Each structure stands twice: as structure tokens, then as C-alpha cells.
Amino acid sequence: MEYDSHCAEIVTQSGLLASCLREEGTDLTTTVPSCPDWNLAQLLRHLGEAHRWVEEIVRTRAARPPADTALRDLPRETTRTPADLADWLTEGAELLAATLRATDPDTPIWTPLPSGSPRFFARRMAHETVIHRADAALTLGADFTVGQPAALDALDEWMELGSLPEMFDFHPDRRALLGPGRTLHFRATDTPPDAAANWLVDLTGDTLAWRRADEPAAVSVHGPLTDLLLLLYGRRPADRDTFEITGDTELLEFWLSRVLFG
């Protein structure tokens, strides 16, 4: 996916999430199963505030992060209706996408991880919105699917961010994942061959590494693309009704427990 596609995906995914909220009987106080510290109102507030926080960074060409109080102050109660929150969410997504589109994607700005340009935020917010739409769908019992380009790119981004050397600084316990013979292979079973939907996680060196490859591994997980996305983001379990799992299941469980992505 390119920059313009990421911008479009922010709006598309927000619109799909908003449509779920407009269903009759939506209860904003319902606990989000995949983010159990939040209820639905808090999840939506988090995503909408994230869109607005990033929009400010890009619009002002920020050299340092602005205050993130609104991202952390997520009261459980809300006076807004689901329809009001749906409108607020889509407004923020459209504002962010418009600001990104009006900005040279290579403009130097602050980003929380190496990149320093709007490209990082366009991609990150596209997939942040995808995953939190999944959280809302799981909460409301709604269907959730993602188009192939977005799902593939979201999985690539997850792998890239999770393998950054800085992750050892943030999560020193992940060093325990490294060891001889520790490799994991993930394959999507519902994509055409040219999608190359195979990911090899290599823990045998001094760093967390990955590559797009169809290679033998200590443990292999095969399943539908959307389900793989939810598995790696910690939104669904590695159950055998959905996935074909062969090899070292203890390694799979250990790895999944250490690489949870918020």
C-alpha cells in the first residue's frame, strides 16, 4: 500500500466502524473483550483522539510530541449517543486524511519510532483503525473482514515494528524469545499465490527478525488472512478449528504471549 492508499484506508475503516455503532441497541458501556480495561466508549474515544493527535502533529510539522492527555484520559462514562460518537469518529478520520493528503509525505516531523515523516503516521493510523474496528466488531458481535491489500500491509507493519531493535528497550523480556531453532511460519490459505502471504519469524540470531518466505519452521500456522491478522494482533486465540498448526506449539504460545501489540 502507498501513502494515498493509507490515507483512504483511515477514512474507509472509520466509516465501517461507525456503521456498526449506528445499529439499534448498541451499548457503549459494554466491555471490549480484546481490550478488557476499556468499554466501547473508551475504545472509540481512544481511536478518535489518536486521529486528532496525529493530525495536529502533521499539520503543525511538530518536532516533538504534543500533550497526549486526551489519549490517556478515557472516562468510562459518556453523555454521547452511539450515533454522536460515530459522527465524531468519522469527522476526525476525514480531518486526519485531508491533512495527510495536503502534506508532502517526506516532510520531516516527529514520530515515536524511526521514520520522521507523515508516511509513518499514515500507515500506522490506517492499521490502528483496522484493528480497533476489529475490537468494536468483536464487542458488538458484528462480522469483520479486511481487504487483502490492507491485511497484508497490516501484517507487514506488525512484523516490522515488532522487530525494531528499540523493542528490546521497551520490552526487555522479549530477549527471552531468542534461541537456536526458534522459527515460526505463518501462511494465509485464502490468498492467490502472487500475494506471497507467507511470513517467517526468525528468533535464532541476536535480534527479532522476519521475512516474507515460505520456509520450514519449528512451528507453522496456516489459516485465513483475516484470522491470521487477528491472531498476531492478539485479537483471537490460536485455535485448531480455525488454524492448521504443526510443530512446536509451546514456542507459538510463548511467542504470542511476549509480542502482544496494543
Question: pTM here?
Answer: 0.94
One domain, residues 193 and 109: no
One domain, residues 82 and 212: no
pLDDT of residue 236: 94
pLDDT of residue 24: 79
pLDDT of residue 165: 86
CATH value at residue 246: 3.30.1050.10
Domain stop point among 107, 123, 144:
144
Cell of 121: 503516521
Q: Could you report the per-residue pLDDT of 79-91, keeping only the tens digit for each?
A: 899 999 999 999 9
One domain, residues 52 and 88: yes
CATH value at residue 38: 1.20.120.450
Residue 35's H or E segment, with its range, is strand 35-39
Q: Could you report the per-residue pLDDT of 215-238, keeping only the tens digit for each?
A: 999 999 999 999 999 999 999 999
Domain stop point among 109, 144, 179:
144
One domain, residues 137 and 162: no
Cell of 184: 515460526
Domain span at 231: 153-258
Domain stop point among 90, 110, 144:
144
Residues of the chain with pLDDT under 70: 261-262
One domain, residues 84 and 13: yes
**For the chain, how many structural domains are there in total?**
2
One domain, residues 136 and 166: no
By CB neighbour count within 10 A (0-12 exposed, 13-18 middle, 19+ buried), where does 163 fall? Answer: middle
Query: What b/e readout covers 61-78, taking b as 16+ CB neighbours within 10 angstroms?
Result: eeeeeeeeeeeeebeeeb
